[in-house]
Structure 1
Amino acid sequence: MPFFKTARSRRFMPMGENANRSKQRADGRRLSGRSAAMRTLLGRIEKIAPTRASVMIAGESGVGKDIVARRLHDLSARRDGPFVPVNCGAIPPDIADSQLFGHEKGSFTGAIAQREGFFEAARGGTLLLDEIAEMPAPLQVKLLRAIESNVIVRVGGTEPIPLDVRIVSATRHSPAEAVRDGRLREDLFYRLAAFALYVPPLRQRDSDIETIALEFVDALNARHHARKRLTDAAIAALRAYSWPGNVRELHNTIERAYILADDGIDVTLPKPAMPPERLSENTMALPLGATLHHAQQRFIAATLRHFDGNKPRAAKALGISLKTLYNRLALMRDDGRS
């Protein structure tokens, strides 16, 4: 997320859309997925959004924490107010106070005019403090004081300014680890995390990959007035990939492939080296001279072990129907008895 463009953001930042428009964003970036994890997350968002409580969103880079924050805003009573995202890790320390709380004219060298900070820019709306654990420690103290007193004072000013903002924070770190490691003040954590939401990585909800990919292609088609489609091979490749960059990487991959495609969209994915400690659990050795029939049996058995006996997931990974898998397993049992 880029550093904030201007403190007078209400003139430039997108205003709160209604919930329906949020779900139909033209860039395809919306909360998607039919997995149990996503259904749970969406349900919690709908319950939490109408409240005034602060929310902390945790999850790996690229999972869509900013989209969750925007969804909370769009479903809240503040939906018609500004939504102001701030990358805490990108705030220069020497102007951090001014950026967050604003400043008065002449308060420091270069302060040629009065300027609102992020808190005032988000008045009546939602302030997203992204990567909160990257905020400098001195600024965390001042943020805590502002939240506790519910007022801010501009740099160089004396007049208390009442706060009228909902604070949503986000971090790619485990909040508990960030507190333990000293990156996030414990007292600030409790102020910011009246509710905590966790956005699972894409590899933990692989059933959502195809859904997200197809929806993004639909959004691109609408934008470019085209009718391109993912090939079956592309969908299989997307399902098989681990997506270390999560939804952001998936979107970037689809968009690159879409631009280069004439009609059918094929994808090219990197092949990351597997860590040595995982080689033994993710490889299968076959003796030289093994028959194809024997190799297939070993491969099916290894795939089932990998998915802890989950037959639907194993069948999906093998590229066969569940019925075919059961037939193969029956043949394997017959071979074992003969």
Structure 2
Amino acid sequence: MSNGLDICSNGNVVGLPTLSALHDAQHNDTNDFPVGKLARCGDLYGASTPMQHLFKMIGKVAPTSANVLIVGESGTGKELVASVIHQMSKDTTSPFVALNCGAVSPQLIEAELFGHERGSFTGAIRTQKGCFERADGGTLFLDEVTEMPLDMQVKLLRVLETNRFYRIGADEESEVSVRVVAATNRDPAEAVAAGILRSDLYYRLAVFPLNLPSLRERSDDVRLLAKLFLDQLNEEEGSSKTFSRASLRLMSSYVWPGNVRELKNVVHRAFILADRELDIAQAIGPMRAAQPECQGDCVTVPLGSKLAEAEQQLICATLDHCGGNKTMTAEVLGVSLKTLYNRLNEYQSKLFLQDAIARPYSIQGRN
């Protein structure tokens, strides 16, 4: 489905309307959005200034062989950007292989990356190619690369420098030609400072860094993207559902902490619940935990609160007070940056689990 303007191979947007025109259209409480005027880069859509810049950067780096490091919050579409880079590369028929480093146990990640020989360890009943061999000649996408164990980061660095590696249990080296596109939802500089990302690996991966804007940084795109998702659902289901006026207003005021993934899932959830008009407020629901009560520089915690809950409220309030600067937050709280990251990851995991429990059906999408 193509509802936007294609982007040139050099990253230039063709025929994109002025943002003022899009702004006027977005603030008209109707469902007649100019979705056809969205700029399109592969499967990425956007009309805002940050997305125009991102499209241009993708257009410049995609035809090269440079490694790319994509930095962005969860839900901003990092794997989708990696896929678009591959699609716009010199050989689009070459393999695209993706691995989430945070989803593989430390004991198995070496075999996942480099493969193994038959009998090299218990359960290795046959020779298995790893991600590097399967991506030979193409692109390997390493998501959540900062979650990779430090000893594996050393081995990954060697492959990036020499294009050579050993399968587990092999006597001879294998040689590949692979472009690596890595991604992280952490600030790479803070990850290096916290000792969870090697600085030499960081510089090897970040030959060409790409920063993905959060949805709140591209607010011009929210209602345009929502209409695009709704049109896709209407086409799939043969329906003609629309957004309620209240939903259109809420889209612009809600902060979308889950970014494009949350927007797409909320539209899908509202679509399932709606007979004719989608109610976004009902689809968002009470999934977001209430914020701690803050007065000035103080955080009020009710008596009877669990210690872990009080700690979470204090950490989140301090992070907000420090403007999102995690290094400063760790210093104020008197903990290491690594400890702060571990706590924030725990809170994020609990939030996604609550989301999953709150909806009894599966919402699919890769943005």
- With normalisation by structure 2, the TM-score equals 0.66
- For structure 1, which segment, 183-192 or 229-238, has the greater mean C-alpha deviation from structure 2 after superposition? 229-238
Please list every run of 5 or more consecutive structure 2 residues that lacks an aligned counterpart in the other structure: 1-5, 9-35, 37-41, 298-367
Shift of 1:232: 2.1
Distance 2:235 2:172 in 1: 50
Partner residue of 1:122 out of 91, 113, 135: 135
CA distance in 2, matches of 1:131, 1:73: 18
8 Å CA contact 2:101–2:109 kept in 1: the answer is no
Q: Which moved more, 1:51-60 or 1:103-112?
A: 103-112
CA distance in 2, matches of 1:270, 1:195: 39
The alignment-based identity, stated in percent, is 47
Q: Cα deviations across residues 75-97 of structure 1 (Å, max 9, x unaligned)?
A: 11232122211110111111221
**Distance in structure 2 (CA, Å) of the matches to 1:170 and 1:66:** 8
Detail structure 1 runs of 4+ shifted over 6 Å in the superposition: none
Q: CA deviation at 1:222?
A: 2.0
Shift of 1:30: 3.5
Q: Which runs of 5+ in 1 are unaligned?
A: 1-17, 281-338
Q: Provide the C-alpha distance between the structure 2 equivalents of 1:230 and 1:83, rounded to a whole number of angstroms.
A: 37
1:113 corresponds to 2:139: no
Task: Give matches, 1:116-155, under 5 Å.
Answer: 116-155=129-168
Partners of 1:19 and 1:75 within 8 A in 2: no
Give yes or no for the alignment of 1:258 onto 2:271: yes
How far residue 231 of structure 1 moved from its aligned partner, in angstroms, is: 2.2
- Asked if residue 83 in structure 1 is aligned to residue 91 in structure 2, the reply is no
Is residue 156 from structure 1 mapped to residue 165 from structure 2 by the alignment?
no
* Rg (Cα) greater in structure: 1
Paired residues, number? 256
**Contact 1:33 1:39 (C-alpha < 8 Å) held by counterparts:** yes
- 1:51 aligned onto 2:64: yes
Residue 93 of structure 1: SS of its match in structure 2?
coil
State the match for 2:82 in structure 1: 69
Contact 1:78 1:126 in 2 (8 A): no
The CA RMSD measured in Å over matched residues stands at 2.2
Correspondence for 1:232 among 223, 233, 245: 245
Query: Per-residue deviation at 1:198?
Result: 0.5
Does the 8 A contact of 2:139 with 2:178 survive in 1? yes
Partner of 1:291: none
State the Cα deviation string for residues 129-176 of structure 1 (Å, max 9, x = none): 000000011110110111111112111102221112110000000111
Deviation at 1:226, TM superposition (A): 2.0
**Distance between the aligned counterparts of 1:241 and 1:153, measured in 2?**
50
Partners of 1:165 and 1:171 lie apart in 2 by 19
Q: TM-score, with normalisation over the residues of structure 1?
A: 0.71
Q: Is the 8 A contact 1:19 1:71 kept in 2?
A: no
Q: Deviations 1:245-266 (Å, cap 9, x if unpaired)?
A: 1111111100000111122222
Counterpart for residue 102 of structure 1? 115
1:188 aligned partner, one-letter code = L
Q: Separation in 2 of the partners of 1:83 and 1:171?
A: 18
2:202 counterpart residue number: 189
Question: In the alignment, what sits opposite 2:27?
Answer: none
- Aligned partners of 2:285, 2:188: CA distance in 1, in Å? 31
Shift in alpha-carbon separation, 1:111–1:64, aligned structure 2, 3 A: same
Q: Deviations over 1:231-284 (max 9, x none)?
A: 22211111110111111111110000011112222212347545555889xxxx
Instruction: Write the letter of the residue equivalent to 2:150.
Output: A
Label 1:146 to 1:278 Cα distance change in 2 as closer, same or farther (>3 A): farther
Contact 2:244–2:279 (CA under 8 A) maintained in structure 1: yes
CA 1:220–1:278: 2 relative to 1, 3 Å: farther
